[in-house]
Amino acid sequence: MRVLLIGGGGREHAMALSILKEGPELFSISPNKNPGIFRISKRNLIGNENDTQVALNYALKVRPDIVFIGPEGPLASGTTDILTAHGFKVFAPSSKAAKLETSKTFLRNLMNEKGIAGNIESFSFIDYRGASEFIDKIDYEFVIKPDGLTGGKGVMVQGFHFKNKEEGKNILRRYFEQGINKILIERKESGEEFSLQAFVNGNNIEFLPTVQDYKRAGEHDEGPNTGGMGAICFSTRQLPFVPEGYIKSAGDILRKIVSAMSDDGNDYVGPIYGQFMATREGPKVIEINSRLGDPEAINVLSLMNQSLLEVGVLMMEGKGIKLDFRPRINVLRYLVPIGYGDNPRPSKLAIDEIGLLMKGLKLFYASVNSRGRYVMQTRSRSLGILSEGITIEEAVQNFRDMEDMIEGEYYMRRDIGDPSVIAKKNEYMATLLKK
């Protein structure tokens, strides 16, 4: 079997490793020379992953039996549409279905129209004046969200990224001046966030274990939002700080969203990922993404017994698949360039791969370029290091001395998976629910 994979980050390295379990020939397109993907691909094309013509020309050349797409950019640009129109099987949503992610207004309107639970009070604006007049009238804390793709970095939350209405308005003004043409103002919700991912074909939906992504650049959740600095997953056991029943309710919300899409003649195919907030009133939808999360995909694909290829093939044939997962807890920490989130300063890294392996750590290459015995960082995330254990304590212990195995300048959040941080999350949720 021949498989084409598009994307060159840590998520795509994890997807490639999962696909490879079935022993197919892997072809890949990535914007960077990711050494992890490069070494297991039969051929790797370095090119613009968002360019539909690049994808089509390569697919016509290598004739894949199935195509997987990691990032949102190629979904938004219509890669699925053009490949499908030329007869290729693509386990990813069309650009129309991907509107769940590419337009936050589309998602909010769909949930409102279909009466789907878990929506957040949200209003969209196309100019500064309308938005700032609205802010003057509201009496709650709010979140500013560009309507389109922002790579996880455009959302601004009152209390974290700005203090008051005036500061919020300054951000809005800047966003409109930068050419963002639609912005949502949403009521701020409180609680713990969790990610629920699934594989979908029409009304057929198969869920993956829940994960928590650590979005903020700094330890103790300080600093700017990022694409995700790391994530924890408790496999088949749900996250300890997410109340019982919330995962099922979140699953029902996702199921209703994809079913509403089918009802509207907009069948959803491929991975989907709901980012939820566990609030006092139940799970609320922060956003829906039309792909696997990065790093969330790394946590779950590493625990999934089935390969991503098997999932894609069976689901595209309209068949069901029962997924199961190794009962391990895992913790992923991303190494990023110094200053990542604000002003990244890439440098070069040398990695002792064998040393990491000997410590029981798995390495996932992300947005780096292979240069001989080094990898060159870009402005984005560099390496994902995954550790697992029967307990969370065991999982994080393996990170000890890990830093001796990576030479060069980088930053990594050391609190990701820290049991004392998780205990604080448990306490916070218990207090919130009692109020």
Q: Which residues bind ligand GLY (CB under 6 A)?
A: 152, 213, 227-228, 289, 293-294, 296
Rounded Cα distance, 347 and 408, in Å? 7
Quote the tokens at residue 233. Answer: 């997953």
Rounded Cα distance, 198 and 315, in Å? 12
Task: Kindly tell me which of 359 and 413 has the beta carbon lying closer to ligand GLY.
Answer: 413
Three-class HEC string of 218-281: EHHHEEEECCCCEEEECCCCCCCCCCCCHHHHHHHHHHHHHHHHHHCCCCCEEEEEEEEEEECC
Task: Kindly tell me which of 59 and 233 has the beta carbon lying closer to ligand GLY.
Answer: 233
Nearest distance in Å: CB 275, ligand GLY:
7
Q: Strand pairing of 2-6 and 66-69?
A: parallel
Task: Kindly tell me which of 58 and 214 has the beta carbon lying closer to ligand GLY.
Answer: 214
Measure the N-to-C terminal CA separation of the chain; round to a whole number of Å: 56
Nearest distance in Å: CB 295, ligand GLY:
6
Range list of H helices, 63-126? 72-77, 79-85, 99-102, 104-113
Task: Kindly tell me which of 36 and 293 has the beta carbon lying closer to ligand GLY.
Answer: 293
Nearest distance in Å: CB 296, ligand GLY:
6
**What residue number has its CB nearest to ligand GLY?**
228
Rounded Cα distance, 195 and 273, in Å? 7
Task: Kindly tell me which of 146 and 227 has the beta carbon lying closer to ligand GLY.
Answer: 227
Task: Kindly tell me which of 231 and 313 has the beta carbon lying closer to ligand GLY.
Answer: 231
Rounded Cα distance, 197 and 205, in Å? 10
Nearest distance in Å: CB 233, ligand GLY:
12
Nearest distance in Å: CB 43, ligand GLY:
27
Task: Kindly tell me which of 132 and 226 has the beta carbon lying closer to ligand GLY.
Answer: 226
The H or E element containing residue 6 is strand 2-6
CB 51 within 8 A of CB 77: yes
Q: Strand pairing of 374-377 and 348-351?
A: antiparallel
- What is the layout of strands, in order, in the sheet containing 348-351? 368-371, 374-377, 348-351, 406-407
Q: Which of 114, 108, 133 is nearest to 184 (CA)?
A: 108
Nearest distance in Å: CB 165, ligand GLY:
28
Task: Kindly tell me which of 131 and 196 has the beta carbon lying closer to ligand GLY.
Answer: 196
Task: Give the three-state DSSP class for 198.
Answer: strand
Task: Kindly tell me which of 32 and 289 has the beta carbon lying closer to ligand GLY.
Answer: 289
Nearest distance in Å: CB 76, ligand GLY:
13
Nearest distance in Å: CB 227, ligand GLY:
6
Nearest distance in Å: CB 228, ligand GLY:
3
